Structure 1
């Protein structure tokens, strides 16, 4: 049995560690340990969605989740689809700015760890800071671009924020293209 220690790790790392460990084996059991209920529930939900058998044990305020992968588990491995993600801020959600920045960084990083990639990611308004000034996001977006995801930033927004010579990933686009990409997508996601 492979054991993974995710104690002290924050979202999305426990689920990514689990996914990566399962990817390394064709069949067998892994055990991942976490120290919070949210991580436990996320891993259980992941195991359920992937049709893996799992068993959870709680001991001393820690959770130990054993996941068994067999050759008969049905797992879809889609490489890409017609989903478009639109990002209009360098923060995710309303409320505390520092939390919002952490969530957005986690969202973009998590995209690099999933199999089913979006067709394109459209950045506008303060979202263009993620394609220019926020280096950790640029690195993750470059990884997605290398895997075929189209990265597009609103040209008017780049100009408004004086980022013309700071764009580090993808290319600029216009509102017409932003609208038509969303209209032709089978799904549009806004984090």
Structure 2
């Protein structure tokens, strides 16, 4: 039985750890989380993938034992509450620059914007990157460190998987969770104040 300790991991990391095990072909797994929301998200995901889940333990060590019993279906939407450092607004970036008249200026403006946003209180609960904005999460981008700092403070950084595949940069993503249109749309437009830039 594969064992996954997801205690202390912010949403959606517990689900992503379980997904990696499922994608790796695990027939049985045991996932330990520290809160009911993570337990619910992991349980719903595993059940959608054809696993039978038996919960046990109590906060702060909830143990979910799962056995593969059926076929996979569509993954459910996640419920990720804001952390104390984040507010009820989401940001969707569509470009690696702000503006298009001057690439150099646009690059500098985007770095300044992200640096300023990282110091804001509260932070956004979600920051999603689509189209050219996925380049901001790459290992060789100077912005990925700022995004990493925001993620460490509880911001969900979602990176469009279709976009990284299109640009052939998936293996270079250094921060955030590779995501999809459904999760990104639900996460950003599920906040009280969605902001789209790019």
Per-residue deviation, residues 138-185 of structure 1 (Å, max 9, x unmatched):
010110011000101000001000011100001111111121123311
Moved >2 Å (runs of 4+): none
From 130, 142, 167, the equivalent of 1:124 is 130
Q: How does 1:70-149 map to 2 (within 5 A)?
A: 79-149=85-155
TM-score in terms of structure 1 length: 0.57
Partner Cα separation in structure 1 for residue 127 and residue 108 of structure 2: 19
Structure 2 residue aligned with 1:174:
180
Per-residue deviation, residues 75-96 of structure 1 (Å, max 9, x unmatched):
xxx7321211000101102311
1:151 aligns to 2:144 (yes or no): no
Report the alpha carbon displacement of residue 134 of structure 1 after superposing the two structures with TM.
Answer: 4.5
TM-score in terms of structure 2 length: 0.55
Report the alpha carbon displacement of residue 135 of structure 1 after superposing the two structures with TM.
Answer: 2.8
1:161 aligns to 2:167 (yes or no): yes
Partner Cα separation in structure 2 for residue 167 and residue 79 of structure 1: 24
Report the alpha carbon displacement of residue 109 of structure 1 after superposing the two structures with TM.
Answer: 0.8
| Partner secondary structure for residue 114 of structure 1 | coil
Partner Cα separation in structure 1 for residue 141 and residue 97 of structure 2: 15
Partner Cα separation in structure 2 for residue 103 and residue 134 of structure 1: 18
Report the alpha carbon displacement of residue 115 of structure 1 after superposing the two structures with TM.
Answer: 1.8
Partner Cα separation in structure 2 for residue 112 and residue 152 of structure 1: 16
Alignment gaps of 5+ in structure 2:
1-83
| Partner secondary structure for residue 190 of structure 1 | strand
| Partner secondary structure for residue 170 of structure 2 | coil
Partner Cα separation in structure 1 for residue 148 and residue 85 of structure 2: 17
Partner Cα separation in structure 2 for residue 143 and residue 80 of structure 1: 13
Aligned-pair RMSD on alpha carbons?
1.4
CA contact 2:89–2:195 (8 Å) conserved in 1: yes
Partner Cα separation in structure 2 for residue 190 and residue 154 of structure 1: 15
